[in-house]
Structure 1
């Protein structure tokens, strides 16, 4: 029986490689049918913002990777409601918005947690 994995992405898409690495881990886990979830927290919620100008900051656009999550069997995608509102972002359609208490419960449901 495979262990479940939650990846917590806390970095903005333009702040370095962490955002891409988190997505790569999730996509790889999904490709191998690993029970996996992805939580966007803190500046990580900026990855969910529409119309990002990645080329302006010489980064690769991660939106295609986000759209591919469902194709890889990754349906458990979450975003911190407090992080979204603190950054002036609307709740995204492609992630379930959670409050702080629910995030704690979510983390407890997974066998392994990776934070990037």
Structure 2
């Protein structure tokens, strides 16, 4: 049985390649039926914010990749509730459906549940 993998994305979509690389890993793992989860923390929660304008920043829009997660079998998508609150993002206004906002204790439990964790 393959080991489960949690990707923690901590970078804003416009701060460099890490946000896109995290999504690429998750989509590839999902395509190969790897038990995989995606967690957004710190500035990574900005990837979930609605009404982003990537062209104004001369960046690639990652929203299409985020919305394709379920098509690749990635159903375990989480966001740190504290990170969302610190950045003024409501869990009910996220641009991606079915994201579970987790408390700090729930984040710790989630991390322990996966065999391997990669933070980008």
- Scaled by the length of structure 2, the TM-score of the pair is 0.95
Matched residues, number: 116
Q: Which one of the candidate residues 111, 114, 118 is aligned to 1:114?
A: 118
Q: Distance in 1 between matches of 2:66 and 2:58?
A: 19
- Name 2:4's counterpart in structure 1: 4
Taking the TM superposition and a 5 Å limit, the aligned residue runs for 1:34-53 are 34-53=34-53
Taking the TM superposition and a 5 Å limit, the aligned residue runs for 1:47-66 are 47-66=47-66
1:67 and 2:67 equivalent?
A: yes
1:102 and 2:100 equivalent?
A: no
Q: Distance in 2 between matches of 1:55 and 1:17?
A: 16
- Scaled by the length of structure 1, the TM-score of the pair is 0.98
- Name 2:13's counterpart in structure 1: 13
* 1:8 CA displacement: 0.0
Deviations 1:73-110 (A, max 9, x none): 00000000000000000103431000000000000000
Unaligned runs of 5+ in 2: none
- Name 2:25's counterpart in structure 1: 25
Please list every run of at least 4 consecutive aligned residues from structure 1 whose deviation after the TM superposition is greater than 3 angstroms.
none
* 1:14 CA displacement: 0.2
Unaligned runs of 5+ in 1: none
Q: Secondary structure at the match of 1:71?
A: helix
